[in-house]
Chain A
Amino acid sequence: MTETLETPKISIRDVHKSFGNNHVLKGVDLDVSAGRSMVVIGGSGTGKSVLLKCILGLIKPDSGTISIDGEAVTGLSERGRTKVMAQFGMLFQGGALFDSLSVWENVAFRLLYADGVGRAKAKVRAIAALAQVNLGPEIVTLNPAELSGGMQKRVGLARAIVAKPEILFFDEPTTGLDPITADVIDNLIRRQVSALGATAVSITHDMGSVRKIADDVAMIHEGKIIWRGLAREVDNSGNAYVEQFVTGSEDGPIKVLAR
């Protein structure tokens, strides 16, 4: 790969994070190149969401550095952080919609409150973003609590992409969706990267999604990235952990019960 020559969009070096005695990240190293779609796979509870939140600065790593465009963002001031956030779009695993606002105000939140776009214009853009995730204009004035889980997830996705950010983070974008909608979402994510040139980091358990949206794949296990490679290499990685994950077998080096 050529990525060692250019500055990676996101660079993670030796990041550690513990919650009390629960050592979640134990030295994560990972580079994400600009304009590529990276998918992180790994068992439940291995710290994928924590890793994403560390990159976003929502969780402060105990040690290690994270750089965006070659500039360290760990230890940034509040104001500097807000500026960095301006180029991010994030879909939270649980949607994290604001239940005090309507669906379209959720989607348009950044436009309305951070970018100072007028309400009428923001609403048009929100409706367009919702259409991209297969949600029609009839739901825009509803409250998020009135939507199904899968619909909430898609609203969260629309909120992440509406301002066309440079870097997108998707925490399990297709979990809880029917296969057809999941395919729409996979295509949407792929389009963000291929057509709009965004950089994407996604987390998923769904190997079908991995094959559709990933350029690169990294696997996290026991607090470290134990394998990374191209998406097409994932089926014959030669790594016993990855093979077990891909085939979804109970037998293998990953112990399902005690740890």
Chain B
Amino acid sequence: MNPLALIGHTILALTREAGAISMFAWRGVSSALAPPWYFNQLGAQLLRIGYFSLPVVGLTAIFTGAALALNIYTGGARFNAEQFVPNIVVLGITRELGPVLASLMLAGRVSAAMAAEIGAMRVTEQIDALKTLSTDPFRFLVGPRILAAVISVPILVLVADIIGVMGGWAVSTQILGFNGATYIRNSIDFVTEWDVVSGLIKAAVFGFIIALMGCYHGYNSARGAQGVGRATTNAVVSAAILIFAANYVLTTLFV
């Protein structure tokens, strides 16, 4: 195929995909916001996305905070600014690393699981069966997942913020010789409400992306086990890329 045609085809395909995702997102959001609500579905998803992701998010945060403290200490030492470790750790965690890294882990965990589950439902005709039972799959499957992710990812990120700062604190007091109480006080005095809130807004957007990509790719899964496998991979990859892109856009708005 000649290269121009290839570029044209790619652009057309991308545009079509973007349009399809937008339509899907619109249907998903409108069914999340209007009755009938399936509260037990929402509850199950909150438990799955929120509660069961706590260990993953906590571990990610504690090691990230710890490594961040070490790096800032090393960098700061070059111009005698070691004392700024608590300030920069808390800023880096709340504004950037907490939301982004937690959401990336969740993209791996949650998007993949959603795509695999909904994809398997598509392939085994369970989605068709839902329709024949007078139940809208968007209301029953997509809406609760989107809602649950938008609610629980910010909460997870708040937990990640706290654990991340504690990771930095642990390294700083145990290895770098900081005073524990001073470190905490410095962190709290320095961090602003907006640092935290802007990170949580990011988290809500990332949560939306995580659920949307999981549901979209699962819902449109091709037939067969291979189709579900591809849907899962695509969900994780596209969620991760969209998280990075959205993070940049949101950061430019928030600085």
Q: Say whether A109 contacts B128, CB under 8 Å.
A: no
Give bound CA distance, A90 to B132, whole Å. 7
Partner of A53, one of B124, B126, B128, B134: B128
Q: Say whether A96 contacts B133, CB under 8 Å.
A: no
Give bound CA distance, A58 to B129, whole Å. 9
B254 to chain A, nearest CB (A): 38
Contacts of A92 in B (CB 8 A): 125, 128-129
Q: Which of A144-197 contact B (CB under 8 A)?
A: 159
Q: Say whether A109 contacts B133, CB under 8 Å.
A: yes
Q: Say whether A86 contacts B131, CB under 8 Å.
A: no
Q: Contacts A58-B131, A113-B38 hold; do A96 and B136 have CB atoms under 8 A apart? A: no
Contacts of A99 in B (CB 8 A): 126
Give bound CA distance, A110 to B133, whole Å. 5
Q: Say whether B132 contacts A82, CB under 8 Å.
A: no
The reply to whether the CB of A130 lies closer than 8 angstroms to some CB of chain B is: no
The reply to whether the CB of B74 lies closer than 8 angstroms to some CB of chain A is: no
The reply to whether the CB of B183 lies closer than 8 angstroms to some CB of chain A is: no
The reply to whether the CB of B216 lies closer than 8 angstroms to some CB of chain A is: no
Q: Say whether B125 contacts A94, CB under 8 Å.
A: yes
Q: Say whether A58 contacts B132, CB under 8 Å.
A: yes
Give bound CA distance, A97 to B125, whole Å. 8
B158 to chain A, nearest CB (A): 29
Contacts of A227 in B (CB 8 A): none
A211 to chain B, nearest CB (A): 28
Q: Say whether A98 contacts B129, CB under 8 Å.
A: yes
Contacts of A94 in B (CB 8 A): 124-125
Give bound CA distance, A58 to B135, whole Å. 13
Which of B117, B129, B133, B140 gathers the greatest number of chain A CB atoms within 10 Å? Answer: B133
Q: 1/0 per residue B178-215: CB within 8 Å of A?
A: 00000000000000000000000000000000000000
Give bound CA distance, A92 to B224, whole Å. 17
Q: 1/0 per residue B38-52: CB within 8 Å of A?
A: 100000000000000
Main SS of chain A's interface residues?
Answer: mixed
Partner of B136, one of A78, A89, A90, A110: A78
Q: Say whether A110 contacts B134, CB under 8 Å.
A: yes
Q: Say whether B125 contacts A82, CB under 8 Å.
A: no
Q: Which of A93-114 contact B (CB under 8 A)?
A: 93-94, 96-100, 109-110, 113-114
Q: 1/0 per residue B110-150: CB within 8 Å of A?
A: 00000001000100111011111111100010000000000
A93 to chain B, nearest CB (A): 8
Give bound CA distance, A178 to B117, whole Å. 32
Give bound CA distance, A114 to B38, whole Å. 11
Give bound CA distance, A109 to B38, whole Å. 13
Give bound CA distance, A135 to B131, whole Å. 25
Give bound CA distance, A53 to B128, whole Å. 9
Question: Which A-chain residue is minimally distant from B138 (CB atoms)?
Answer: A78
The reply to whether the CB of A56 lies closer than 8 angstroms to some CB of chain B is: yes
Question: Which A-chain residue is minimally distant from B36 (CB atoms)?
Answer: A113
| Sample of 16 further A-B pairs with CB below 8 A, known A78-B136, A99-B126, A113-B133 | A56-B128, A58-B128, A82-B136, A85-B131, A85-B133, A85-B134, A86-B134, A89-B132, A92-B128, A93-B125, A96-B126, A97-B126, A98-B121, A100-B117, A110-B133, A159-B133
Interface residues of B (CB under 8 A from A): 38, 117, 121, 124-126, 128-136, 140
A sample of 12 cross-chain residue pairs with beta-carbon separation below 8 angstroms, ordered by A number, consists of A53-B128, A56-B128, A57-B131, A58-B132, A82-B134, A85-B132, A90-B129, A93-B125, A94-B124, A96-B124, A96-B125, A113-B140
Ordered nearest first, which 7 A-B pairs have the shortest CB separation? A114-B134, A96-B125, A96-B129, A90-B132, A110-B133, A58-B128, A85-B134
